Structure 1
Amino acid sequence: MIGLIFGDTDFPKEILKKIKKENLKYLIIDLSKSKKFKKDKRSYSVSIGQFGKIIKILKKNNCKKVLFAGKVKKPNFSKLKLDIKGIYYIPRLIKALKLGDAAILKEIIKILSQNKIKTENSLKFNSELALKKGNYSKVKPNKQDKLDIQKAIKVLNNLDQYNFSQGAVVRNKKIVSIEGKDGTEKMLKNCKSKKFRNHGVLVKFPKKEQDLRIDLPTIGLRTLKKSKIAGLKGIVLKSKQNIVLDINKCIKFANENKMFISVK
C-alpha cells in the first residue's frame, strides 16, 4: 500500500492511471483545491494542517511509503484548519515558509520520516515522463539560442538556496523574467513581446537545493502554447529532472510552430 499525496495539475492523474493499470494498492490524500479525487473510494479529503489525521490515515492503512505529486497552494496559516499535531508542527512550518516552498516540502517530508513514513520519488511509477538529454523537435537551438540558454541557466544557478523559482525567460542574452510565486504561466504572460516572434527561451530547471523526489519542473502542451503566445522559440529542461505531460502532442506542436524542446 502506498499513500498518494496529490495536489493540482494533471501529473497525479498520470500516476493514478499507471497504479491502477498495475493493480497496486493505494490510498489518496487529496490536497487539491478542487478536491478532484473525491469520487475515488480510496480518497481522503484533508487539510495540509491536519497532520494528525494524515498520519492516522496512513498508519491505519499500513502505508509506510508516500508519493507527492501535483501543486499544493502555499497555505495561509492564519486560516488553516489544524488538528492537535498540526498545532504542534505549525511553528516548524512557519519557520520553513520564510525560506520558501522547497523548505516547506522538505519539512513535511522530515515530519513524515519522524513518523516512520518514507517519501518515494514522484517518478517511481512514471519514469517515461522524464526526458533524457537530447533535442526532441525538428528545430534545434542556434548560436543565439544557445547564448540565451546559457544565460538562463546561469541565472537559475545563482539564485538563493531556497528560492522558489524553477524558470527563467531570456531573450537576446537579457533576462526578461524569473518565475515568481504565481508560477510559469503568469511569467509567460508577462513576457509577451510585440517586437519579437519566435525569439528567446524558457528554461525550467529544479530549484536550487531541491529534494528531487518531489516538485520537479513540469511542462505540457499548455506550456508550449503559452510560450508560443509569448513569442518564444523554445523550452529547455534538465535531463531526468523534469516531468513532461503529453510529450507527443508537445513535440507535434513544437514542430508545427518551428519551436524547439531541448534537454540538457
Structure 2
Amino acid sequence: MTAPGLQIGSPVGVIAGGGVLPFAIADSMQARQITPLLIGLRGFCDPSGIARFRHHWISIGQYGRLKRLLRAEHCRDVMFIGSVVRPSLASVRLDWGAVRVLPSVMAAYRGGDDHLLTSIGRIFEGEGFRLHGVKDVAPELLMPRGELTRAAPDEGHLADIAKGIAVLAALSPFDIGQGVIVIDGHVVAVEDIGGTDALLANLARLRAQGAIHAKPGRGVLVKSPKSGQDLRFDLPTLGPRTVEGVAAAGLAGIAVAAGNTLVAEPQETIKAADAAGLFVTGVPA
C-alpha cells in the first residue's frame, strides 16, 4: 500500500536503466492500477523488455527532452530504477535543458555517488516533479524480515552477518559500496565500483587460486544501504544472478537489509538458492 498521506498520480514516469527491475516495477504498478510510462536510457535499458510498455527513449544528458516528455504525458510523479554506470562528463551529450542546470550537475559530480543522485533529485524537485522510491509504488518487491529459503543461518553465520552489518555501517561515510563478505569472522572482501557481481567473481577466483582457506559452505554476503542514502534512488538489489555468484564463490548464504533491499525475480531467486542449498535472509539494518 502507499504510505499514508502520500499521493501518487497516474501515469508515473519510470526512468529506466539496465536490468529487469524497471519492468518488475512497471508490472507491479499495473497490478495496482497505476499506469507506468517508461523512459528508457539508451545504452542501459533493455529494448526487448521496455517494448511491453508505453515508452520513450532518451540519452544521458537529454534533461530538456526528458522534462518535455514527462510534461507532455502529464507525469508529475517520477522514479529512477535500474543500473546505470556513472558516465564520464566527456561522454555526456547535453541538450539545452541540461545546459541550463549544468552548474548544479557539475557540483554534483564533485561528490560521491550518493551526493550525485541526491543532487539530481533536487533538480527534478525544483522543476515541480515528485520523486518516489520502490517503497511508494511497489513495496511487495522489498525483502521481508526472516528467511526466504529452506536453509537458515547457524550461529556462526549470524555472527558473520552482525560483523558485516557493522563493517558496512562504519564504511558508510566513505560512499564505498553496499556489500561485504565475511567468512568465519574475517572480512575478506568489500564491494567497490565494480559492484556485487565483480565482488563475488573475484572471491571465486581467489578460492580457485587457493587464497581462501575456509571450506566451501562457510561465509556470508551481507548487503545493506549506506547510512543517509537516499533510498528513492539506489537500494541494494538481490536476484538470481547474485545467488549464482554466491554459490560459485563457495559461500553459505546471503543476508540483506529487510525492507531496504529489492528482490528481483523473487520466485526464481528463491528457487535458485534452494537448489544451491543457500540461505537468503532479511535482517534489520
Do the two structures share a fold, i.e. TM-score over 0.5? yes
Match of 1:217 among 230, 236, 256: 236
Preserved contact between residue 40 and residue 56 of structure 2 (Cα < 8 Å): yes
CA contact (8 A) 2:191 2:199 kept: yes
Query: Is 1:170 matched with 2:182?
Result: yes
- Change over 3 Å in CA distance of 1:83–1:144 after alignment to 2: same
1:206 paired with 2:225, answer yes
Residue 18 (structure 2) pairs with residue 8 (structure 1): yes
Which residue pairs with 1:95 in the alignment?
A: 107
On the 8 A contact 1:101/1:164 being kept in 2, the answer is no
Question: CA separation in 2, counterparts of 1:163 and 1:144?
Answer: 28
Aligned residues: 264
Map of 1:157 onto structure 2: 169
Counterpart for residue 27 of structure 2: 17
Aligned counterpart, 1:36? 46
Q: Secondary structure at the match of 1:105?
A: helix
Identity across the alignment (%): 30
Matches within 5 A, 1:1-264: 1-22=11-32, 24-37=34-47, 39=51, 42-161=54-173, 163-192=175-204, 193-194=207-208, 195=213, 196-264=215-283
Deviations 1:210-229 (A, max 9, x none): 11122211111111111000
* Gap regions ≥5 residues in structure 1: none
**Which runs of at least 4 in structure 1 moved beyond 3 Å after TM superposition?**
19-26, 37-42
Counterpart CA distance in 1 for 2:271 and 2:45 is: 32
C-alpha distance in structure 2 between counterparts of 1:135 and 1:40, whole Å: 33
Q: Give CA deviations for 1:24-64 in whole Å, capped at 9, x if unaligned.
A: 43322211525424646732211231211111211222211
Q: Which range moves more in the overlay, 11-20 or 102-111? A: 11-20
Conserved? CA contact 2:150–2:279, under 8 Å: yes
SS of residue in 2 equivalent to 1:16 = helix
Match in the other structure for 2:5 = none
Consecutive unaligned residues of structure 2, counting only runs of 5 or more, are 1-10
Deviation at 1:138, TM superposition (A): 2.3
Larger displacement relative to structure 2 (227-236 or 116-125): 116-125
- Judged with a 3 Å threshold, the aligned counterparts in structure 2 of structure 1 residues 91 and 174 are, in CA distance, closer, same or farther, namely farther
> 2:145 and 2:42 mapped to 1: Cα distance?
32
